[in-house]
Amino acid sequence: MASPGFSNRNNGKRLGITEPISLGGPTEYDVIKTRELEKYLQDARLYESQEEAVSREEVLGRLDQIVKIWVKTISRAKGLNEQLVHEANAKIFTFGSYRLGVHGPGADIDTLCVGPRHATREEDFFGELQRMLSEMPEVTELHPVPDAHVPVMGFKFSGVSIDLLYAKLSLWVIPEDLDISQDSILQNADEQTVRSLNGCRVTDQILHLVPSIQNFRTTLRCMRLWAKHRGVYSNVAGFLGGINWALLVARICQLYPNALPNMLVSRFFRVYTQWRWPNPVMLCAIEEGSLGLQVWDPRRNPKDKYHLMPIITPAYPSMNSSYNVSSSTLRIMLEEFQRGNEICEAMEANKADWDTLFESYGFFEAYKNYLQIDISAENADDFRKWKGWVESRLRQLTLKIERHTYDMLQCHPHPGDFSDKSRPFHSSYFMGLQRKQGVPVTEGEQFDIRATVEEFKQSVNRYTLLERGMEIRVSHVKRRNIPNFVFPGEVRPLRPSKVTWGSRRDSELKVSGDAQPDKLCEGKTDLDGSDGGQKRKLVDDTVETDSRYAKSLHLCSGEVHAASPPVSNISSCSTKCESMDANKKVDDSIAVSLEKIENPADIPYQNGQIEVLSRCNPPNDSLPAAANTSSSKEAEKMALEKKMAGPYVSHQALPELDELEDDSEYRHQVKDFSRNMRSSQMEPSEESVSVSAPVNSSNGAGPSTDSYNGGLEELEVKHITFVCAPIFRLSKFSCHYSIMFRIPCGFLYLVACAVFVLKIFCLFL
């Protein structure tokens, strides 16, 4: 329930940086569908019981008492006088899903301990407090991570999972009524304290910036469940985490302040399908502040220019909460937004229901080729440390593959891990592989990513706490050889008889296409046509809904294998394109055939373009209000266009080469999405063909931090800004464009050299 303080705070006051798109109230249809949604969420067991809620409150109260005893203990040990010892205080705050009120049964509680200036993080928090907790019988699975980006201490207290952060303020005494929402609290705070405080400050700001907390919570629960079922809920994998989804939902609540959750869910998909990324999503204006802390600003900070899906936190200092998003994960999320939008429109036409929206994504049926990353250790403590480190680095493998293949090989990371019960202290991660759709290819071309994978493994093995037995292996597996332990019950399921949204939609469109091919859809791109290989294959299973994605992912396959194949102990990986000949075997270089894979196609989206989707109009007799939907949508599109015409549109410009050289971590994320998506609209080849982007350090086309992935227009002489670069880089650019446009590399090299010489000649003149 919303607290009175929050619900009354914004009466008569505009929320957000723009006017709302619509002030319309709910219809009878919205009321009915919202009740259905609430019942669906309850049946999915997303709400904790009263007993569990009381237990959590007791644990938080006990933890607050412990930190108060701890701070008095260290104050006395440091020689402070009795008055200061008596006044010494520490306080516990909550944030995350628990503070937002959208946590479910068994979820952990994100907590923050705020202490005085003399209570240090290294010696006192990760020293004395950790010792006190380790000696308590009710505390189990204590796992401190002092060297994390945000230092955290994880443990279970009476069975309740706790993630405890620490913030050291510049105060001698922490008042019991401390207000951490004030910017002055950050004065003289170190970076780790600022980051630790950010979670609480952002959570409180979100609750202050939404018009109805109850509607916000219901909508957020819905979107979190949907994201987990569709495999796009994971910040560490390059998708979106809890705070990201909360910010996206909060912005929709601002744009439709009087809407109920049913309408908010529908508008969520409609708005973000049309959103012109990388325009930022912001709940309020970015404040510069008076403390000199760096805020997100692509006009000043070079790194901020390369963020693909900026979702800005509302509390000072404002940051991009979604910097982990890559071009591959952005593409996948946009496809899912498109799917959600189509289903919501079908629901308005009584052709779909909530079950359809929450169908789980069949990850292990969506691709024919996968990378399997296996990790292992010798004991539980080493495995926990090793697993956390590897998970934090997996995103780098996706980025390296994208960069080294110039986005021609696309990766889809699975957000969870899988364990083989027969192998203790072992986990496996998977990435779906596909060649980029719509790019002309010729037979016999290859992706050779051995050097890329070896580079990734070397970076992982530089772990400072590496122990004997900590191992990582990367291998290629085909869909038919996926190990059985990834499936529920370790049994490879047969293809379900249930008709999924994707198959039902394609079937209807095929029938409609035979009858009225010219009246199928309206829009610029026929996303629902029969272009086979271009469409993302959405295959789902009929298993019970569960809020944990890793256990609720429902898969299907036409084959049943008696046992899983042994994991290949291979230290390097090569993705070699060849035709899918049943007689050919995968050699030790891990050859991946990328023949006409039954996989997703790129949803066409372009910077600077508002209308980026094609939708089929429902029949005129589907709903009484259907006749008004077209004009209503057009009005909303025009309103949305104004909302996105913000001050940061200019940051979409591609950077100069010198800027890229200054920042090796972010420059490979600079993508010309207009070029990528235009090329993906081309008809795919019907032949069994492959794409090549060989990595070979001997010829200069290997893993390079100097590569530049520019747009199509950069081939024109008047736009070539890198002619003054050293001559040895020209060969790399020549190979890049040779691969993309099928022009002989030697010819491009000669042209580049000629331009370079001409430029030098002009300088001398």
Task: Summarize the confidence of residues 525-551 as an average pLDDT.
Answer: 35
Reported as a single tens digit per residue, the pLDDT across 459-476 is 999 998 899 999 999 999
High-pLDDT (> 70) share of the chain, %:
65
Give the confidence band of 155 by pLDDT, cuts at 50, 70, 90. very high
What residues have CB less than 8 Å from 379, skipping those under 6 apart? 425, 469
Rounded to the nearest 10 degrees, the angle between the axes of helix 242-255 and helix 191-208 is 30
* Predicted local confidence at residue 459, as pLDDT: 94
Asked if 125 and 119 touch (Cβ cutoff 8 Å), the reply is yes
Asked if 705 and 664 touch (Cβ cutoff 8 Å), the reply is yes
In total, the chain counts a number of residues equal to: 765
Asked if 504 and 538 touch (Cβ cutoff 8 Å), the reply is no
* Predicted local confidence at residue 94, as pLDDT: 97
* Predicted local confidence at residue 268, as pLDDT: 98
Residue 239 has pLDDT above 70, yes or no: yes
* Predicted local confidence at residue 312, as pLDDT: 97
Residue 158 has pLDDT above 50, yes or no: yes
Tally of CA atoms within 13 A in the half-sphere of 648 that contains its CB: 26
* Predicted local confidence at residue 759, as pLDDT: 72
DSSP conformation letters of 684-713: PPSS-----B---GGGT-SS-TT-----GG
* Predicted local confidence at residue 439, as pLDDT: 78
Reported as a single tens digit per residue, the pLDDT across 429-470 is 999 999 888 877 766 677 889 999 999 999 999 998 899 999
Give the confidence band of 145 by pLDDT, cuts at 50, 70, 90. confident
How many angstroms separate the CA atoms of 342 and 337, rounded?
9
Nearest to 695 by CA among 453, 452, 454, 455: 452
Reported as a single tens digit per residue, the pLDDT across 303-358 is 999 999 999 999 999 999 999 999 999 999 999 999 999 999 999 999 999 999 99
Give the confidence band of 58 by pLDDT, cuts at 50, 70, 90. very high
Residue 36 has pLDDT above 90, yes or no: yes
Task: Summarize the confidence of residues 511-534 as an average pLDDT.
Answer: 38
Residue 220 has pLDDT above 90, yes or no: yes
Say which DSSP state 129 is in.
I
Residue 375 has pLDDT above 70, yes or no: yes
Task: Summarize the confidence of residues 190-195 as an average pLDDT.
Answer: 94
Q: In what order do the strands lie in the sheet with 426-435?
A: 409-413, 426-435, 369-376, 471-478
Residue 361 has pLDDT above 70, yes or no: yes
Within the chain, what is the greatest distance between any pair of CA atoms? 89
Q: Which of 164-173, 248-257, 380-389, 667-676 has the lowest mean pLDDT?
A: 667-676
Task: Summarize the confidence of residues 691-697 as an average pLDDT.
Answer: 31
Task: Summarize the confidence of residues 481-502 as an average pLDDT.
Answer: 79
How many angstroms separate the CA atoms of 503 and 374, rounded?
33
Asked if 115 and 90 touch (Cβ cutoff 8 Å), the reply is yes
For residue 106, which phi and psi values (nearest 5 degrees)? 80, 0
* Predicted local confidence at residue 412, as pLDDT: 95
Gyration radius of the chain's alpha carbons: 27
Reduce the DSSP state of residue 188 to 3 states and report it.
coil
Pairwise pLDDT comparison (213 vs 402), residue with the higher score: 213
Residue 682 has pLDDT above 50, yes or no: no
Pairwise pLDDT comparison (731 vs 550), residue with the higher score: 731
Asked if 688 and 598 touch (Cβ cutoff 8 Å), the reply is no
Pairwise pLDDT comparison (497 vs 386), residue with the higher score: 386
Residue 287 has pLDDT above 50, yes or no: yes
* Predicted local confidence at residue 760, as pLDDT: 73
Instruction: Please state, rounded to an integer, the average pLDDT across all residues of the chain.
Output: 75
The burial of 137, by beta-carbon neighbours within 10 Å (0-12 exposed, 13-18 middle, 19 or more buried), is given as exposed
* Predicted local confidence at residue 644, as pLDDT: 65
| pTM exceeding 0.85 | no
Say which DSSP state 127 is in.
I
* Predicted local confidence at residue 756, as pLDDT: 74
How many angstroms separate the CA atoms of 110 and 112, rounded?
7
Nearest to 148 by CA among 162, 160, 133, 165: 165
Residue labelled with tokens 């869909």 = 479
Q: Which tokens is 329 given?
A: 């994960």
* Predicted local confidence at residue 38, as pLDDT: 97
Pairwise pLDDT comparison (637 vs 689), residue with the higher score: 637
Residue 564 has pLDDT above 80, yes or no: no
Task: Summarize the confidence of residues 27-50 as an average pLDDT.
Answer: 95
* Predicted local confidence at residue 592, as pLDDT: 43
Residue 283 has pLDDT above 70, yes or no: yes
* Predicted local confidence at residue 12, as pLDDT: 55
